[in-house]
């Protein structure tokens, strides 16, 4: 790597690492993953992912092993839990830069790729969350890079086998989106010699050695229950039924434009440039990138369940295409400086808030201090008509999701881990209040527009000596004391 590439990689890594010790977790699966890692570290065993007393079968454990290790070293706060994902993102940048080198054989594309990927709102936001997708992405990029290297030196297929194991133990069946473009590219290049080589067999053996033991153990221990969640729910139910929102065929396109803004236009320019080059030259590199795009996009596009971070594996390919387009414009220093300034401007316009204040559950974290100061373990902490994992986590209390909405209840209980944990209940706030043992305090989190209804129910019950309300930016904590 030359100075330009090294400088770009160092600055981008600094931007991803900066301030990860501040703020609060995203009120989503992030909270669940933190508690799974903490439970694993505190003696819950290394095979099972447990949350609220229930076992999660949907995901393999590699990411959680890394989180548990980091938590054991640095604590289970924001820094310790975000660190594995952040390091995976940094190494993802490195592998993407090396893929650019391998495909395009020049340094400017490598540096521009890192800039573009860092500037992406989807990549940057998810690189600093507690999640499995970025850890999977590192394995995918390592797998693709080692495959490209293996085209010239089959020994790299051994690294491909290790990377395959990493992917499977990070996201299980999702690994297919990485295997598909490589297998298609091998077929189009007519390189069957690689598949019958001894290095391929060694790589395949390493994949099996790293993945079979856990899958076999879970099959023996849980039988079909494991596979119903691991494949049935994670793949088929998500593919054929929308678990959260009404299906929208333009969901990803809308999010792409809304989240990325001007960068979306640059990515589209890179895609058009790649198509034009393929039409003119029929280059193997351009063809591989297009296959990558299709294999990463189409399965999730046809799936009924759509979530923004499902598109994460698409962004390195888009950054590679666009970097090639930028490199074709000119080799002059002034052009490189202008492109660098453009990427920097896009980064700060998209990501300044996440960089300076990664505080995603601010209300809940502040409310949790009040709960801890004014309650005991026997008191009730609930979220009413709102999907919230953060308050219970920061307060160190059991999760209770209460709703009087049939549709919300159906959505929440579709998720096996929530259904098995028994933390979701269909009931009115009045029923919850009346079922509490005498003398029990109740701390209820609700959106601001429902706070009045909850406050009125607590006051009308006559069970509390006082009702106190704490209002945040979006949420309110109503406490029956």
Q: Write the pLDDT tens digit of every residue in 261-277.
A: 999 999 999 999 999 98
Query: Residue 440: what pLDDT?
Result: 92
Q: 33 vs 282, which has greater pLDDT?
A: 33
Enter the pTM of the model: 0.95
In which element (H, E) is residue 378 found?
A: none
Query: Residue 164: what pLDDT?
Result: 97
Q: 172 pLDDT exceeds 90?
A: yes
The rounded distance, in Å, linking the Cα atoms of 38 and 19 is 22
Q: 135 pLDDT exceeds 90?
A: yes
Percentage of the chain with pLDDT > 70? 99
pLDDT category, 173, cuts 50, 70, 90? Answer: very high
Query: Residue 159: what pLDDT?
Result: 96
Query: Residue 374: what pLDDT?
Result: 93
Average pLDDT over residues 45-65: 92
Mean pLDDT score across all residues of the chain: 93
> Helices (DSSP H) in 105-197: which residue ranges?
107-119, 121-127, 133-150, 157-171, 176-189, 192-195
Query: Residue 282: what pLDDT?
Result: 65
405 in helix, strand or coil?
coil
> Helices (DSSP H) in 223-237: which residue ranges?
224-227
From the list 429, 316, 368, the residue with the least C-alpha distance to 88 is: 316
Average pLDDT over residues 138-154: 96
Locate 371 and state its tokens.
């709960």
Identify whether the C-beta of residue 434 lies closer than 8 Å to the C-beta of residue 458.
Answer: no
Average pLDDT over residues 378-391: 94
Average pLDDT over residues 188-207: 93
Pairing state between β 424-426 and 442-447: unpaired
User: 348 burial class (0-12, 13-18, 19+ CB within 10 angstroms)?
Assistant: middle
Locate 352 and state its tokens.
């300044």
380 in helix, strand or coil?
strand
Query: Residue 272: what pLDDT?
Result: 93
Identify whether the C-beta of residue 191 lies closer than 8 Å to the C-beta of residue 156.
Answer: no
Query: Residue 71: what pLDDT?
Result: 96
From the list 323, 282, 389, the residue with the least C-alpha distance to 93 is: 323
Q: Which residues contact 111 (CB under 8 A, 6 or more apart)?
A: 4, 5, 8, 97, 323
DSSP 21: T
The rounded distance, in Å, linking the Cα atoms of 481 and 470 is 13
Average pLDDT over residues 121-144: 96
Query: Residue 294: what pLDDT?
Result: 94
DSSP 234: I
Question: What Cα–Cα distance (Å) separates residue 62 from each residue in 68, 101, 166?
Answer: 10, 29, 8
Locate 414 and state its tokens.
């579709």
Q: Per-residue pLDDT tens for 303-330?
A: 888 888 999 999 999 999 999 999 988 7
pLDDT category, 332, cuts 50, 70, 90? Answer: confident
Q: 292 pLDDT exceeds 80?
A: yes
Locate 218 and state its tokens.
């879970």
Identify whether the C-beta of residue 440 lies closer than 8 Å to the C-beta of residue 422.
Answer: no
Locate 223 and state its tokens.
């039988």
pLDDT category, 53, cuts 50, 70, 90? Answer: confident
Would you give the distance in Å from CA 296 to the centre of its chain?
15
From the list 339, 364, 325, 357, the residue with the least C-alpha distance to 476 is: 364
Query: Residue 245: what pLDDT?
Result: 66
The rounded distance, in Å, linking the Cα atoms of 315 and 309 is 10
Average pLDDT over residues 25-51: 92
Cβ neighbours, 10 Å, residue 74? 15
The rounded distance, in Å, linking the Cα atoms of 170 and 172 is 6
Q: 145 pLDDT exceeds 90?
A: yes
289 in helix, strand or coil?
helix
pLDDT category, 42, cuts 50, 70, 90? Answer: confident
Query: Residue 348: what pLDDT?
Result: 96
Locate 420 and state its tokens.
């098995």
Q: At what angle do helices 157-171 and 133-150 cross, to 10 degrees?
A: 160
Average pLDDT over residues 334-338: 91
């Amino acid at each position: 790597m030359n100075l330009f590439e090294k400088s770009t990689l160092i600055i981008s890594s600094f931007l991803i690492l900066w301030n990860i010790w501040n703020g609060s977790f995203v009120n989503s699966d992030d909270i669940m993953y933190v508690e799974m890692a903490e439970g694993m570290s505190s003696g819950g065993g290394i095979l099972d992912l447990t949350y609220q007393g229930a076992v999660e079968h949907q995901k393999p454990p590699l990411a959680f092993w890394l989180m548990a290790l980091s938590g054991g070293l640095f604590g289970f706060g924001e820094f310790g839990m975000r660190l594995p994902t952040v390091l995976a993102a940094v190494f993802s940048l490195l592998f993407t830069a090396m893929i650019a080198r391998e495909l395009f054989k020049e340094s400017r594309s490598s540096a521009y790729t890192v800039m573009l990927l860092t500037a992406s709102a989807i990549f940057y936001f998810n690189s600093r969350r507690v999640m499995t997708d970025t850890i999977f992405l590192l394995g995918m990029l390592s797998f693709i890079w080692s495959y490209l290297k293996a085209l010239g030196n089959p020994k790299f297929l051994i690294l491909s086998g290790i990377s395959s194991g990493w992917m499977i133990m990070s996201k299980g069946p999702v690994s297919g989106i990485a295997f598909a473009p490589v297998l298609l590219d091998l077929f189009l290049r007519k390189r069957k010699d690689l598949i019958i080589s001894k290095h391929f067999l060694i790589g395949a053996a390493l994949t099996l050695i790293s993945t079979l033991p856990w899958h076999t153990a879970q099959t023996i221990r849980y039988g079909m229950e494991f596979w119903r969640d691991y494949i049935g729910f994670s793949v088929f139910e998500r593919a054929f039924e929308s678990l959260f929102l009404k299906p929208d065929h333009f969901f990803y396109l809308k999010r792409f434009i809304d989240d990325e803004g001007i960068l979306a236009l640059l990515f589209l320019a890179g895609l058009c440039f790649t198509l034009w080059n393929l039409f003119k030259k029929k280059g193997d590199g351009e063809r591989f990138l297009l296959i990558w795009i299709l294999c990463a996009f189409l399965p999730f596009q046809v799936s009924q369940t759509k979530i923004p971070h499902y598109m994460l594996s698409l962004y390195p390919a888009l950054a590679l295409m666009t970097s090639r387009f930028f490199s074709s414009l000119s080799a002059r220093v002034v052009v490189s400086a202008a492109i660098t300034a453009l990427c920097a401007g896009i980064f700060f316009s998209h990501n300044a808030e996440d960089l300076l204040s990664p505080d995603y559950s601010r209300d809940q974290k502040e409310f949790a201090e009040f709960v801890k100061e004014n309650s005991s373990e026997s008191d009730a902490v609930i979220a009413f008509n709102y999907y919230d994992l953060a308050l219970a986590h920061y307060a160190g209390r059991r999760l209770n999701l209460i709703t009087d909405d049939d549709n919300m209840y159906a959505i929440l209980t579709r998720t096996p881990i929530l259904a098995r944990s028994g933390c979701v209940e269909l009931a009115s706030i009045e029923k919850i209040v009346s079922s509490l043992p005498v003398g029990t305090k109740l701390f209820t989190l609700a959106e601001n527009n429902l706070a009045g209804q909850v406050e009125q129910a607590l006051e009308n019950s006559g069970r509390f000596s006082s009702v106190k309300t704490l209002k945040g930016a979006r949420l309110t904590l109503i406490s029956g004391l």
